[in-house]
Amino acid sequence: MEKLPVYKMKWFVGSRVQIDLIIYIICMCLLSQLLVFSHDFVEENMIDSSYSLYLITTVQVAYFACIVYGFWLTSRIAGPLDRLKRHMDQMAEGKTDSEIHFRKKDYNLELAESFNDLVKNRVNGK
């Protein structure tokens, strides 16, 4: 298979997961910088001391919330892929012809549909 030159590669495929990951990465970068700046503002007395604890706590809570969202996001990506891999391994061993089902909020639901179509075609001998 011939490798495409960089200028011909399709960088954005328009998938929901790609958009969510880009937004997540941007938010984590911005929150990281805001966390650093908020500590600098407090150390340099650029912000009133009564608001300093509030500012730092708010940024830390938002940062922690992004980390939790990251775990949720990756479970919605990696979980279905792991389930699909295990199911494909079972099919390769001839153990199952059953369909695979993803959770409603999982990414790549169309991947499960395509796999189920493959299973149906295999069972019907097409």
Residue 69's pLDDT is what?
A: 92
Q: Are 55 and 41 in contact (CB under 8 A)?
A: yes
Q: DSSP string spanning 71-125?
A: HHHHHHHHHHHHHHHHHHHHHHTT---------TT-S-HHHHHHHHHHHHHHHHT
Average of per-residue pLDDT values in the chain: 83
Q: How does pLDDT run across 24-77, given as a tens digit for each residue?
A: 999 999 998 988 888 888 888 888 877 888 888 888 899 999 999 999 988 888
Q: What percent of the chain has pLDDT over 70?
A: 93
**Mean pLDDT of the 100-119 span:** 85
Q: Inter-axis angle of helices 49-92 and 109-124, to 10 degrees?
A: 10
